[in-house]
């Protein structure tokens, strides 16, 4: 009998095709999040689960998923998975690092440029029929070239963001819990403490994982340190930024603009005050959404499952200690 795999959403076919070669695959055949009760019922008899950042893999899930050997997240972030709980029960967890790095950094830089140069306002201005003449004062924005880019987090995506900044002759400074002198040398980056990055940057871009220590890492006090001309970019996780504090800072002109691919909560409620602001550009969590990258993510998640179900080490396992113990 073939192992049973559950896929919690429609995903690019390449990953499904891989799984179907040797597994009995059940898919929540929808673009909507699988309801919790359906999810719990479906995982009960599965050997592997390909899940998304919208699916909570917690003690309740693991209590039900008695046969599951692996929960393979199709995302690099895995704050939806209680990895410690998985490890305790000998269940593997995996994510999809690497394959989305460049695409996500491209998008973070896209948001940076679009917010700085007021692309959304320009587009709306044209479509509203307001473009009557060339205007010397029309929709002026912030320069990107030779500005200071401050990175909070210098992991894979942060590092690629640094490279993009250098392509625009930016000064790049960063803060991370781990200092990377090798990258400072290689890319000409400057390390600075957290507050200094906030104070000196024209653009602050967040590239840290979401965890208790990064919950509302950017709130009133931190926004107050930033320049009035500064732009905040968040492609990491919404809850790293305190949304009320951000609204106040944007509304009062304490900072100049924000470009967000992630919000707290997601999706952003239609009555969220951030949606009333012209200086807040918001995308629906699509930083990794290129055709190639989403294919690669679905294949990597599938390969993690196939490895786990055939007794091999999943290529991007998050808790390898599970294998050592077995
Ligand atoms: C991730 O991978 O964590 C993104 O948020 C979705 O690509």
pLDDT digits (tens, 9 = 90+) for 107-155: 999 999 999 999 999 999 999 999 999 999 999 999 999 999 999 999 9
CA distances from residue 150 to 99, 199, 202, 226 in whole angstroms, order as listed: 24, 9, 7, 11
Q: How confident is the model at residue 325 (pLDDT cuts 50, 70, 90)?
A: low
Q: Are 316 and 72 in contact (CB under 8 A)?
A: no
Residue 304: exposure state from Cβ atoms within 10 A (0-12, 13-18, ≥19) = buried
Contact indicator for 115, 278 with CB cutoff of 8 Å: no
CA-nearest of 70, 221, 238, 236 to 152 is: 236
pLDDT tens digits, 223-280:
999 999 999 999 999 999 999 999 999 999 999 999 999 999 999 999 999 999 999 9
Q: 100: Cβ below 6 Å to ligand 1?
A: yes
Whole-number pLDDT of residue 324? 87
C-alpha to C-alpha distance for 111 and 108, rounded to whole angstroms: 5
Asked about 285 being catalytic, the answer comes back as yes
Instruction: Convert the pLDDT of each residue in 169-213 to its tens digit.
Output: 999 999 999 999 999 999 999 999 999 999 999 999 999 999 999
Contact 263, 111 (CB under 8 A): no
For 50-63, what is each residue's pLDDT tens digit? 999 999 999 999 99
Angle value at C-alpha 291, between 285 and 293, nearest 5 degrees: 70
Q: What is the pLDDT of residue 11?
A: 98
What pLDDT, in 10s, does the model give residues 94-112? 999 999 999 999 999 999 9
Residues in the chain: 326
Mean of pLDDT values over 82-86: 98
Q: In what order do the strands lie in the sheet with 24-27?
A: 24-27, 4-7, 48-51, 70-73, 92-94
Based on the residue annotation, tell me whether 266 is a catalytic residue of this protein. yes
Of ligand 1's listed atoms, the one at least distance from the Cα of 78 is 3
For residue 305, report the distance from its CA to the centre of ligand 1, in Å: 18
For the Cβ of 288 lying below 6 angstroms from any atom of ligand 1, the answer is yes
Separation CA 118–CA 33 (nearest Å): 33
49 lines ligand 1 (CB under 6 A): no
* Digit-coded pLDDT (tens) for 14-61: 999 999 999 999 999 999 999 999 999 999 999 999 999 999 999 999
Between the CA of 130 and the centroid of ligand 1 the distance, in Å, is 37
Active-site residue, selected from the candidate residues 237, 254, 294, 299: 237
């Amino acid at each position: 009998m073939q192992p049973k795999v559950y896929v919690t959403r429609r995903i690019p076919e390449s990953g499904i095709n891989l799984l179907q070669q040797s597994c009995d695959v059940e898919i929540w055949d929808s673009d909507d999040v699988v309801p919790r009760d359906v999810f719990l019922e479906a995982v009960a008899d599965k050997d592997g689960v390909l899940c998304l950042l919208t699916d909570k893999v917690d003690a309740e899930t693991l209590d039900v998923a008695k046969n599951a050997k692996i929960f393979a997240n199709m995302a690099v972030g895995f704050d939806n998975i209680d990895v410690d709980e998985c490890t305790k029960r000998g269940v593997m967890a995996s994510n999809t690092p690497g394959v989305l790095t460049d695409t996500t950094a491209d998008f973070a830089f896209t948001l940076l440029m679009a917010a700085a140069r007021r692309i959304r306002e320009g587009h709306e201005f044209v479509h509203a029929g307001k473009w009557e003449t060339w205007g010397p004062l029309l929709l002026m924005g912030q320069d990107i070239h030779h500005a200071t880019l401050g990175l909070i987090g210098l992991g894979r995506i942060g590092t690629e963001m640094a490279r993009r900044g250098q392509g625009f002759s930016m000064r790049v400074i960063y803060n991370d819990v781990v200092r990377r002198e090798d990258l400072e040398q290689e890319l000409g980056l400057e390390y600075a403490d957290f507050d200094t990055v906030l104070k000196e940057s024209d653009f602050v871009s967040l590239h840290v994982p979401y965890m208790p220590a990064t919950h509302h890492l950017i709130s009133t006090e931190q926004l107050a340190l930033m320049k009035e001309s500064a732009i905040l970019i968040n492609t990491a996780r919404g809850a790293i930024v305190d949304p009320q504090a951000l609204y106040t800072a944007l509304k009062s002109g304490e900072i100049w603009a924000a470009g967000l691919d992630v919000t707290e909560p997601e999706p952003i409620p239609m009555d969220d005050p951030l949606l009333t602001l012209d200086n807040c550009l918001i995308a629906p969590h699509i930083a990794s959404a290129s055709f190639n990258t989403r294919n690669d993510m679905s294949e990597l998640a599938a390969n993690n499952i196939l490895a786990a179900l055939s007794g091999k080490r999943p290529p991007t396992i998050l808790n390898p200690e599970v294998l050592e113990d077995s």
